[in-house]
Amino acid sequence: MALGRIVLVLGLAVYGLAAAGSGIDRMSLARPAVERVVPGPFRAQADRSAATTDLVRQNYKAMLVHARRATKEDPVDIDPTALLGSALALNGQDDAAAQAFRLAARFGWRNAATQVYWYDAALGVGEFERASERADALLRVHPRLVDSAELLEPLERSPRGRTVLAERLSQNPPWQENYLFLRLDSSPDLVSRRFQVLSAIAPGHPLGCEAVARFTSVLVHQGRRNDAVALWNRNCPASAVHGPMTDLTFRTVQTSASDQPFAWLVTPSGDLTIRQNGSTGAPPSLELSNSASGSLLVLSQSVSFPPGTYRFRATAAPGSTSGAGKLALSWVCGDQLPFPRAGQGDPLQDGQVVQIGACDRQLLGLWLDGGGSVKLRSISFEKVA
């Protein structure tokens, strides 16, 4: 990993330094263009700002000139020294850069560029524990830098690196939430790397349901339900998932999978009414009503059935089915559930037969006829010949 590449990724975040000196000098920190009018005696921050502007513009020779000036004007401050080290590294003067960063480290470790330099140096000699210390210190100050692949990827791709990174995560650092939060469209490579890190966390140190819910949802979305179940059960044992389908009694129904990745998801519609019922002395039920004229998808769930033919049966509270009141199921390999096929049976009667194929991203949907309502108590399934 090249130091210059990381410095460019950090950009202004590394050099967003607190200014000292005159008011116009401080202004140059927020508005680097102002540095051109700062008088000579007050150029300490101005030259830092100029060097930062040169960094962003990738004008490394000019950056080195301004960094040298900033160091001369403020030789006992870690920030210009680290800035000079970065400029030297970006200009290929590795030995001089190392000398500058050794001096910066003597001033302390609060400077981000210094942390990055010695993080890179530790990786270069295989000292992953020390590298993780530097990364942890950097991310505690700049937690959003987790999104920079250049920063943690070297640790994530090494077995020993994954182990030390997992140890850091198990201590609930301030940047843990940023690390675990991924977009649904995150690259499979990034998801795989971080899943390997999470899998390396020692048993007995669960991160908690809330912490891993989003990451679990991403795994489900990318067709990795088995991995999602493994991650969820390890970190959320109180709500462990078992079997190809969960929540057979409809206790957890949500509008989003962010909290419960394996829950039944409600399909948003102004024609649907969904309500949980739990009267004293009676089993709980889920009341579904469809005021539309046609059948609507009301619930869906990510499942993982082995290929085969299955019969699904649903039970309802006695006398609770009105109107057309007919339920139907549909299955898809993907995320767009088709309208139920005719002639497969009724889940509320003798059951509905569904043919399931080999697929890593299965979705099961529950439909309700137009004008119908029902109070569901449970659903069951069995594999048939």
CATH number of the domain to which 285 belongs: 2.60.120
284 part of a folded domain: yes
Do 27 and 162 share a domain, yes or no?
yes
Count structural domains, the chain. 2
- Domain end among 178, 210, 240: 178
What is the reported pLDDT for 37? 41
Per residue in 20-51, pLDDT tens? Answer: 233 323 333 444 433 444 444 445 577 878 88
Do 144 and 285 share a domain, yes or no?
no
Whether the Cβ atoms of residue 159 and residue 130 lie closer than 8 Å to each other: no
Complete edge-to-edge strand list for the sheet that includes strand 285-290: 272-277, 285-290, 373-384, 308-316, 351-356, 345-346
Backbone angles phi, psi at 253, to 5 degrees: -125, 125
219 part of a folded domain: no
Domain encompassing residue 29: 3-178
45 part of a folded domain: yes
- pLDDT tens-place values along the chain, 385 residues long: 444 455 444 543 444 433 323 332 333 344 443 344 444 444 557 787 888 888 878 888 998 998 898 888 777 777 888 888 888 988 989 899 888 888 888 877 778 888 888 898 899 899 999 999 999 998 998 888 888 777 899 999 999 999 999 999 999 999 999 999 999 899 999 999 999 999 999 988 999 999 999 999 999 989 899 999 999 999 999 999 999 999 999 988 887 766 789 989 999 899 999 998 876 556 788 999 999 999 999 999 999 999 999 999 999 988 777 765 689 999 999 989 999 987 789 999 999 999 999 998 999 999 999 999 999 999 999 999 7
Looking at residue 322, the DSSP 8-state letter turns out to be B
Find, among 187, 109, 185, 202, the residue nearest to 153 by Cα.
187
What is the reported pLDDT for 370? 92
DSSP-assigned states of every residue in 72-133: HHSTT-HHHHHHHHHHHHHTT-HHHHHHHHHHHHHH-S--HHHHHHHHHHHHHTT-HHHHHH
- Domain end among 178, 194, 222: 178
Q: Is the model's pTM score more than 0.85?
A: no
